[in-house]
Structures are given as C-alpha cells and as structure tokens.
Copies of this chain bind each other. A is one copy, B any other.
Amino acid sequence: MTLHAELRVRRGGFDLGVDLGVERGEVVALLGPNGAGKTTALRALAGLTPGGRVTCDGSAWDGLPAERRPVGVVFQDYLLFAHMSVLDNVAFGPRARGTRKAEANARALDHLRQVGLEDFAKAKPRTLSGGQAQRVALARALATSPELLLLDEPLAALDASTRLRVRSELARHLRTYEGHTLLVTHDPLDAMVLADRIVILEGGRAVQEGAPREVVRQPRTDYVAHLVGLNFYRGTAHSTEVRLDDGGTLTVAEPADGPVHVVFPPSAVSLYQEKPAGSPRNTWPVTVSGIEQHAHTTRVDLDGSPAVLADVTTATVAELRLQPGDELWASLKATEIHTYPR
C-alpha cells in the first residue's frame, strides 16, 4: 500500500540521493531551495530520468518506461500541447489510457470546470495566460486518475484568489484521492494546507521530514526557518543558558543540555530606544539594517549579537521613527523561546 522510492540521479555536477515513502492516500510535500533537486526527483519517479528504484504496492517500477507507469505529472512549465485545444489536452491522458472519446471529453470538461476554465475548452494553449495554462496542466494531470500524482509547483502562477479556490479544490480532491501524491511547492501555506507530511530537500538530500506542524515548529535548517518565518539559531545549552554558535547568549525557560536549535517568532521581539529595565531576561543592542513593510505589520532586520528579525506594529515604527542604521535595544521573553536538540 506504500510507494517507496530510492532515487539516485547524477546530472552534470548535481547529485540526488533521497529515499521517499508515500502511503496510499497520503500527500507528501517536497520543499527545498532552487536547484535542490525537486524537479529531478519528480522526473526520476515518473521514469523520465533514469536512476534509483521505485516500488509501488509491492510491484517494482524499475524497468518501466514513463508511459507504463501510472503517474500524472504537472510540469513546472506546463508543457501543454500547442496544436491541441485545451479540451483535447485534458482528454489526451484518458484517451491514451483507452477511454472512449465521448467519455474522455466529458471527463476532461469536468476537470476543466474544477479549475474554472470550462469556457476555454476550445481555446488553443497559446491564447491562455500563464495562470490559465497552469490550471489546464493541473486538470490534465488529474484527469488520468493516476496511482502517483506528481505536482511541480502547480499553483505558482495562480493569482491569490484563484489560488485559494484551486487550492481548496485540490485539497478536496486529494482528501478523497486513493493514490499517492508528491507535491513540490515553495509556499509553506500550500504545504500546510495540502500535505500530510513534508520532506525538505537541500542539495539533493532530505534534510528534514515530518508532519507539517512539526516541521514548522522545529525547523532544522536555515532554509526551513526562513520558510516558516522564524528566527533560528544553533547553540549549546547549559541548563537555561544557550550559547549561540554565531555569537550571543540567550536565556530560555526550559532547561536543556548539549547542542540545540533555538527558535522564536519575529513578533516575540520588542524594540526600545533606551535599554529597558523591565523583566525580559534577554536584552541586547542591535542596529537596524533593513525595513520591510508588510500588509499588517512591519518587519525589521536587525544586526547584533545575535542578529534578529522583529515584527513590529506600524504604530511602533512611527513612534520610533525607524531608519536603517538606528541603534536600538531588542528584548525577548525567555518563555517565547523554543529549544530542541540538534
């Protein structure tokens, strides 16, 4: 009932070596920086790039060429067939797998409706916008009802509201879906909403794996911490004192010993113009190195020991008249800091 893959691919100087397991009905999200090998892994699973071994429900796929593998792929650049109508593109998979024309067309139209493009059934792909093309590619992959669904950033080109709708359609589809799904994405929200498990790929290796909430709360690499928007450090704990590898010391609430990861949200950091006298045990001088205006808060990039990101309200920005180069005091309650062993 499981898909198990040991992927070993070498392309130019790049080397992928990762073991993946996907349960039936499970959705695994593959996250990682550009060039981490996500697309390469998907290609190997689909049988487009040789390398490694795949077994699914006990049967080995190793010798099988792509068209004999029960996979559906959404490619990063869609690869819609330019000379076919949108409907024919979506109906192509069912037709190729032996469905009769009328039925394949009906099914294709159904899938087009799900991505909100039934009006474009007769259009040529050339006349679609980027986001429309991506939705057609998604419909095309879903229309074959494959054992293994491989989605390479299937929502990247969608606008915010379509994305919301297509994502929840996709979530609904995947919840009732019997096969195995592997989803490549750069958006942690997609992963949170759609995936049962997250695998983080960096430099061709899986560096972290786990349930979405777990990964979000306990990142193990800078990339993941960035991804979920946490301040992240490596350090060595001696009881409630953590000496950070890159300089600085933090006092935490939960005692620990040995090498640990340290995380806290940017919103846990407060900024003061004068050294505060109050209760926070962690107070250190910082210099503003950057300011980014977000929709409802302002993110401040601070140099110091340690360097830190802080989210402050617009009122605070106005009050402190923040400018790059300003010298401030950062303060952080020990109870907001989360540590866990490395």
Q: Number of copies of this chain in the oligomer?
A: 2
Whether A279 is near chain B, meaning CB under 8 Å from some CB there, is no
B-contacting 9-mer, from A60-68, A142-150, A242-250, A293-301: A293-301
Indicate if the CB atoms of B33 and A226 lie closer than 8 Å: no
When the two chains form their complex, are residues A186 and B168 in contact, meaning their CB atoms are under 8 A apart?
A: no
Asked if A160 and B132 make an inter-chain contact with CB atoms under 8 angstroms apart, the answer reads: no
Residues of B with C-beta under 8 A to A135: 34
Q: Mark A221-244, 1 if CB is under 8 A from B, else 0.
A: 011001111000000000000000
Q: In the docked arrangement, what's the CA distance between A159 and B188, Å?
A: 10
Which residue in B12, B192, B227 is a CB contact (below 8 Å) of A160? B227
Cα A31 to Cα B292 with chains together (Å): 19
Q: Are A130 and B77 in contact (CB under 8 A)?
A: yes
How many residues of chain A have a CB within 8 Å of chain B?
Answer: 55
Q: Is A161 an interface residue (CB 8 A)?
A: yes
Cβ of B192 and Cβ of A34 under 8 Å apart? Answer: no
Q: How far is the CB of A127 from chain B (nearest CB, A)?
A: 6
Q: Give Cα distance in the complex from A160 to B322, angstroms.
A: 26
Identify the closest chain B residue to A192 (Cβ).
Answer: B293
Q: How far is the CA of A234 from the CA of B229 in the complex (A)?
A: 34
User: Residues of A with Cβ closer than 8 Å to B?
Assistant: 11-12, 31-36, 38-39, 76-77, 123, 127-132, 135, 152-153, 156-164, 168, 171, 186-189, 192-193, 212-213, 216, 222-223, 226-229, 265, 290, 292-296
